[in-house]
Amino acid sequence: MTLATGAILILAVLLGWLRLWRWQAARPRTARFWALLALQPLAATLLWFALHPPAITVPGGTLVVATRGAPPGSYDIRLPEAPASAGGTLAPDLATALRQRPATTVRVVGEGLESRDQAIARTVSVQFAPPPPPTGLVRLDPPPPVGAGGLVQVTGAATGMDGGSAELLDPAGTRAALAELGADGSFALTGRTRAAGAADWKLVLRNPAGAAAHTANIPVTTLDTPPPRLWVRAGAPGPELKYLARWAADAGLDFGSDVQLGAGITMGDAPLAITATSLARLDVLVLDERSWAGLSASARAAVLSAVRSGMGLVLRTSGPVPAPVRSAWSTLGLRLATGDTPRDTRLPGGTTIQSLPLAPLGPDSIAFLRDTAGKPVAAWRSYGRGRIGLWPVLDSYTLVLTGKSTAFAGLWSSMFSAVARSTTASRPDLPAWGYAGERVTICGLPGPAQMLTPGGTAIGLHPDAAARGCAGYWPTTPGWHRLRTSDPAIETPLRILPAEAHPGLRATALREATLRLARSQPAAAASADRSLPGPAWPWWLAFIATAGLLWWIERRRIGRGAQTT
Amino acid sequence: MSVAPDFAAWLRPIVWRVRAQTAAAALPLVLAAAAIAWRLAGPVPAAAVAALGLAATAFLAARASAHYDQRWLLRRLDAERADIEDSADLLLADPASLGLLQRLQRDRLIARLQTGPAIAAQPDWQPKRLAILWALAVAVTAAAILWPRGGSAEVEALIRGEADQPPPLLVARSLRITPPAYTGLPARNAENLSAKAPVGSTLTWRLRFAPTPESAALVFLDGRRVPLAQQGEDHIATARLDRSSLYRVVATGEAKQGPLHRLDAIADARPVVRVLAPATTLTTATPGQSRWALSFEARDDHGVRATARLRLIRAAGSGENVRFRESAMVLSGTGSAKARRFSVSLDLNALGLTPGGELVAQLSVADNRPGTAQTAQSPSLILRVPTEKAVEAAGLEGMVQRVMPAYFRSQRQIIIDIEALLKERRRLPAATFAARANNIGADQRILRLRYGQFLGEESEGQPKAPTMADLLTSDGGAPDKVTPTDKPAPKLVLPEGHDAYDGHNHGATDRAPPVFGSDDGTFAAYGHAHTDSETATLFDPETRATLGKALDAMWQAERSLRQAEPAAALPQAYAALNFIKDVQQATRIFLQRTGTNLPPIDMARRLTGKREGIAPARRSLDGEDYPDAVPAALFASLATASPSEADLQRLERWLAQAEVPDKLSVVAAIDAVRSDPACAPCRNTLRGTLWDAIATPPAAVLRRSAGSTEGRRYLDALATR
């Protein structure tokens, strides 16, 4: 950079000289000519220094900075979040403070440095004596995305509330779940969504006496994806198929099934032709061990090739699995334990089902259903772009018969959600929520997008294609902001919480980030000198003076009088 | 040497004329602008606008007139007067610097101009343009002053001459709730205009407005309107609370619609009866128990009547022959009106409870609501007095089918007896054999007579009550697997033991027994027959014929038995049994099944497995089938956008037919959003109520996102590895 500007400046000087030479070629060399000749390189040199001011060496020093929650006292610098009782010069941010008062060490007093100041703080060494950890809600895991009727899972932790309880309130304000805080203060709560759309759930932490000590809003966005097309091929009719069809109808799935009774006799819908084109129209295909055994080699190849290109395949068991099927499935990476004895499996939520045990999972398999002891019950793995799930549950229909149809729907919904073909559109990757006045990173944007504030103002986003299509957004007003993307034309809500929301959570985050900074920048370099870019303004002043002189000498009539008169 | 003419004097009228023209053109604009400013912002801004406009006019006039100077005058002279001979510039030149000829010409010009400039009046007045400008300005000014102010209440009040009357405001309010007398609740004042009160309460509103409006009313959202009557300074209304509703206070001349208030009618709850003693509903009497203590507690929100009715049902007998006697007694409660206790100790001996009998007690209480009191019953409490027989049968109950049709069993029993007799024939003396065969024949006779009753046979006398002799054949009470050897013993010594199963009515010997199948039994009880007794039975002719054949066979069998020829009797007995079985089949009732109307079977397609052309059953529920589609869609859109009026109307239509626990709160939330669509907290409230109204749908499938191109490439690479 510096070299390039230098070269350009030298070229400019040479061109200036050439022009002077030609202009004054026929005239006697006056003092004016020589002055013009000499001032050209001088002006270029000054401009170069103005653009790249020479570094100055700063003696090592320590800057005491007051941040949010700093106790009253006298400090060098007071950042905007610091309380007014903290004395010191008010600086808009740490970078400005360091330019005004160069230092090599920053001693942070208070809760910690805001994310705004953390980048500049990496250039100096940070000393931080952390305040006592905050009490109340200190960890809140954003709930994973959920569909209508799905489970909202809220987990987190609170400190300083031994013996307290956590309560989840749904958007109507009625209690959805209640749990006692664990020994480490952690809690896990679940609620069930009723409709697609974005809504604030509320977490209430109660002390042992039952009084509400802390409340926190938890924005939850319930997504609405196009329903998958589902086909079940069974080897025999059974209650599982019946209740699966019933659930699929209620949940709005595009469902079809056929039962191959053998000898060319089929029941149910018109049988599915296992070809590449018919499978490409499906999102999930469910086979059991009998229908798998009934597939020809070419049909199996077609199914696996469809899975490689994105289809989901669920292998379910309806009874003992013959050895050839067992080995065929294990070559797909999903292995059943030996023995066909079904075992009683207790699931979280107090339900019991019968299932065939799984062999220990391979490294590429993911268990999506575990029993109360944590043993995997059902698993899936990637296969090309698609996924294959193994569902060795024999009698999930008994859940419906015992009045637990919600649990039944939840099990199958989670299975199909895991393996179903992905949607054609990619969802932008938004954080679960943001805070007013803090930068929000939005990724996965395919092209230009707009943010609509609650007031309706549209703010353009400029995603960086080189960085996963990420864009920065600085919200100022709390409320529901909307991300509007043009391709596909969808609006995704993003909740911006007020700047003072989740105080414990954010204090913990600040504290840990500042502690990380303090650890990564050891105080050993604290006293050493350090060079900083020097001030540029004297050079600019000198350059302007020289350039002005040049202009004046060139325009003045000195030495031209003879020709004009 | 002549002196140059006084150009300034010549120019002065022209300059003033130009200034006047400018002012004449600008003034209407200033006037119109000032009028508009007065209308929009008031007199002070209007004055400012006028001052600015005048200043601008003066500036423009000065600028316009500056153009008309001496040079302009000389140019006009050159242009318009031929006698100036394009030499007007000489008039301004210094005569001393001019040549001779120039001087001469100058003098000539001066002489010619002695009479004045004599040029055309410049510039022209343009009366047409000015007239249009002035007309427009006057029109705009008039419009600005006289235009009515958008139909606002203020202007309307101005028209009515009430310009200084502010809108009425509710300054004092009270809502007095007088619950119905039977509740015993005191009258009270509600804290605000919303209240919860028992159904039937009298509500009295006393509202005071300042200033007092012409009229005021309570407008309910369900369309009712309760006018407020003016009484002194107050407005008063009274209404009975019959159902929950929402209302607002509306006064004429109100600036804006007031808030909604909510009235909740608390329905009178039914009383609740709890049994304190005994602990279980079924009690088995201990041997020698003579009293049964019962204790109940009845609770009600307002009060339980002091007396309650205890219904007592005594059951005597066993099996099919159980008779019930019902009686009632009135109990007086103790304790407060809201929780009364009813206790009684029943004397079992006085009630005539015998072993094998049961006593069922049920308390029925009523609350103190006038008009239609609400009643509640306690569970039935049963006291069972055990019998020895019940003890014997314990363990076999439910396994042995003890009730069999008597006529069917008896014929079979006769066959069993005959067969047993035939087996023992060799061992028995002839006389004993003949006597036993005769006995069986007697059984057969009695059975035949009983079947004969079905056909109205009277050849052997009127049907009579079974006697002890009947019991020999009517073996209903005997265990199922009775061998002929042990048959006579229980029959003979236990006449009391087979009361339940034999079907004959030996308990009522004092009246003529009803005869099964004959017209005087059932028909006499429920109607009257016009046909003769021979054909007027319950059986159709075919059954009668079959039954006749059975009787014939019985005749034959009886005759052989009486002649001590049981071997000959056996086929006849079997034949009779078969005919009786046929009759039994015939007495079954076959009903036409309704409800299915199957299409005819297509024989060409049958058993081929072909399904072409068969419409598949509709499997998926579309949006219209999802009952909560309307609120769910609105729930999603309300998060970020205000609803349209059409949305709200659709929601109201849905609400009218939906089963929502708290409809009023939804209605109130809709009303709040409708009155202020931009109010975000109101929208949030509506969303909350909608959430409550939506039933949790079955878990849907959430498909994963397509992911990035790099991710897909990675998965493809993994698959081909």
Confirm if A191 and A171 have CB atoms less than 8 A apart: no
Instruction: In whole angstroms, give the CA distance from residue A439 to residue A93.
Output: 15
Q: What is the mean pLDDT of residues B422-437?
A: 88
Residue A169: predicted pLDDT: 93
Residue B485: is its pLDDT beyond 60? no
Residue with tokens 């002012």: B23
SS3 A464: strand
Distance of alpha carbon B391 from alpha carbon A344, whole angstroms: 42
State residue B41's pLDDT score: 79
DSSP A262-301: ETTEEEESSPPP-SHHHHHT-SEEEEEHHHHHTS-HHHHH
How much of chain B exceeds pLDDT 90, in percent? 13
In the numeric block, which tokens belong to residue A116?
């705004």
B289 token code pair: 């128990």
Whole-number pLDDT of residue B372: 85
Inform me whether the pLDDT recorded for B526 exceeds 60.
Answer: no
- Bridge partners (DSSP) listed for residue A56: A532
Q: Which DSSP symbol is given to A453? A: -
- Residue at token pair 């809690």: A187
The pair of structure tokens assigned to A100 is 């005004």
Written as six digits, the tokens of B292 are 């049964």
Token code pair at residue A342: 């079904």
> Which DSSP string corresponds to B379-428?
PPEEEE---HHHHHHTTTTTTS-----HHHHHHHHHHHHHHHHHHTTTTS
pLDDT category at B16 given cuts 50, 70, 90 is confident
Q: Are strands A376-383 and A365-370 parallel, antiparallel or unpaired?
A: antiparallel
What b-and-e string marks burial along B290-318, b requiring 16 or more CB atoms within 10 Å of the CB?
A: eebebebbbbbbbbbbeebbbbbbbbbeb
Q: Do A406 and B692 touch (CB under 8 A)?
A: no
Count of beta carbons in the 10 Å neighbourhood of residue A320: 15
Q: Note the Cα A181 to chain centre separation in Å.
A: 28
Report yes or no: A296 at the B interface, CB cutoff 8 Å.
no
pLDDT bracket for residue B500 (50, 70, 90)? very low
> What does pLDDT average to over chain B?
77
**Chosen from B665, B685, B703 to mutate, greatest number of chain A CBs within 10 A:** B703
Write out chain B residues lying below 8 Å of A422, CB-based. 703-707
Q: Tens of pLDDT along B591-608? A: 555 666 777 888 887 888
Question: Which residues are bridge partners to B208 per DSSP?
Answer: B172, B234
Q: A256 contacts in B (CB within 8 Å)? A: 619
Residue from the list B700, B707, B708 with its beta carbon closest to the beta carbon of A148: B700
- Give the range among A234-243, A514-523, B93-102, B463-472 with minimum mean pLDDT: B463-472
According to the model, what pLDDT value does residue B184 have? 84
CA distance linking residue B511 with residue B507, whole number of Å = 10
Confidence (pLDDT) at A213: 87
- Beta carbons within 8 Å of B348's beta carbon, 6+ residues apart: B285, B289, B290, B291, B292, B359, B383, B385
**Location of structure tokens 């009258």:** B187
Is B704's CB within 8 Å of A250's CB?
Answer: no
Any B CB within 8 A of A420 CB = yes
Contact A406 B696 (CB under 8 A): yes
> Looking at residue B351, what is its pLDDT?
84
SS (H, E, C) A322-390: CHHHHHHHHHCCCCECCCCCCEEEEECCCEEEEECCECCCCCCEEEEEECCCCCEEEEEEEECCEEEEE
Amino acid at A428: P
**SS3 of residue B304 by DSSP:** strand
Residue B152: what pLDDT?
A: 56
Nearest-CA distance B692 → chain A (Å) = 6
Please answer yes or no on whether B639 and A198 come within 8 Å at the CB atom: yes
B408 pLDDT more than 70: no
Q: Which amino acid is at A59?
A: P
In this prediction, residue B162 has a pLDDT band, given cuts at 50, 70 and 90, of low
Q: Taking CB atoms and an 8 Å cutoff, what residues of chain B touch A264?
A: 609
Q: Residue B468, class by beta-carbon neighbours within 10 Å (0-12 exposed, 13-18 middle, 19+ buried)?
A: exposed
Residue B154 has what pLDDT? 54
pLDDT given for residue B6 in this prediction: 74
- The pLDDT, as a whole number, for residue B458 is 52
Interface touch A228/B622, C-beta < 8 Å: no
Q: What is the pLDDT of residues A436-456, one digit of tens each?
A: 988 899 988 878 888 988 888
Give CA–CA dist A239/A397, Å, rounded: 6
Euclidean distance between CA atoms A71 and A85, whole angstroms: 8
Is A406 in Cβ contact with B715 (below 8 Å)?
no
Sort out which chain A residues have CB atoms less than 8 A from B636's CB and list them: 195-198, 224
Phi/psi-derived region of residue A350, left when phi > 0, alpha when psi is between -120 and 50, beta in every other case: left
Q: Are A69 and A507 in contact (CB under 8 A)?
A: yes
Query: Are A406 and B688 inside 8 Å of each other by CB?
Result: no
The distance from CA B81 to its chain's CA centroid, rounded to whole angstroms, is: 102
Residues A512 and A12 sit within 8 Å (Cβ to Cβ):
no
Say how far apart CA B693 and CA B652 lie, in whole Å.
Answer: 13
CB B92 within 8 A of CB B74: yes
Contacts of B692 in chain A (CB under 8 A): 172, 174
Task: Name the burial class of residue A46, with classes exposed (0-12), middle (13-18) and buried (19+) by CB atoms within 10 angstroms of its CB.
Answer: buried
Question: Quick check: ipTM above 0.85?
Answer: no
Sequence-distant (6+) residues with CB within 8 A of B19 are B61, B62, B64, B65
Give burial (CB, 10 Å; 0-12/13-18/19+) of A37. Answer: middle
pLDDT over 60 at B511, yes or no: no
Given a contact cutoff of 8 angstroms between Cβ atoms, the answer to whether B217 and B206 are in contact is: no
- pTM above the 0.90 mark? no
Whether A489 and B635 have beta carbons less than 8 Å apart is answered as no
Decide if pLDDT at B664 tops 70.
yes
Tokens of B297: 């507690």
Q: In DSSP terms, which residues pair with B349 in a beta bridge? A: none
Classified as helix, coil or strand, A4 is helix
Residue B459, pLDDT > 50, answer no
Spatial CB neighbours of B326, under 8 Å, sequence gap ≥ 6: B311, B312, B313, B314
pLDDT, one tens digit for every residue, chain A (565 residues): 778 888 999 999 999 889 888 887 777 778 888 888 898 999 999 999 998 888 877 666 788 889 888 888 888 888 888 888 888 888 888 888 888 887 888 888 888 888 888 888 888 888 888 888 888 888 999 888 888 888 888 999 998 888 889 999 998 888 988 989 988 889 989 888 988 888 889 999 998 888 888 899 999 988 888 889 999 999 888 899 989 988 988 888 888 899 988 777 888 888 888 899 999 999 999 999 999 998 899 999 999 999 998 999 999 998 889 999 999 999 888 888 887 788 898 988 788 898 998 888 888 889 988 888 888 999 999 998 999 999 999 989 999 998 888 889 989 999 999 999 998 877 888 898 999 988 899 988 878 888 988 888 899 988 888 887 889 999 999 988 989 887 667 788 899 999 888 888 888 888 888 988 888 865 555 455 666 677 888 899 999 999 999 888 888 765 554 444 3
CB contact under 8 A, B703 and A249: no
Length of chain B: 721
Pairing of strands B261-266, B195-198: parallel
Residues B245-267 have a mean pLDDT of 85
Using CA atoms, how far apart are residues A52 and A196, in angstroms rounded to an integer?
Answer: 56
Q: Is the pLDDT of residue B509 over 60?
A: no
At B342 the pLDDT is: 92
Q: Measured between CB atoms, does A250 come within 8 Å of chain B?
A: yes
Is the per-residue pLDDT at B374 higher than 60? yes
A326 token code pair? 């067992």
Rounded CA-CA distance A548/A555 in Å is: 11
List C-alpha distances in Å: B580 to A361, B547, B552.
Answer: 71, 7, 12
In chain B, pLDDT over 70 holds for what percent of residues? 77
Q: How many CB atoms lie within 10 A of CB A94?
A: 25
Longest C-alpha distance within chain A, in Å? Answer: 120
Partner-chain contact A425 B705, CB within 8 Å = yes
Interface of A with B in 88-127 (CB under 8 A): none
Q: Which residue has the higher pLDDT, B187 or B627?
A: B187
Q: Is the pLDDT of residue B206 over 80?
A: yes
* Type of residue at B271: P
Tell me how crowded residue A338 is: count the other CB atoms within 10 A of its CB: 10
Beta carbons within 10 angstroms of residue A551's beta carbon: 10
**Closest residue in A to B697 (Cα–Cα):** A149
As a whole number of angstroms, the distance between CA B301 and CA B267 comes to: 10
User: Tokens standing for B542?
Assistant: 């075919």
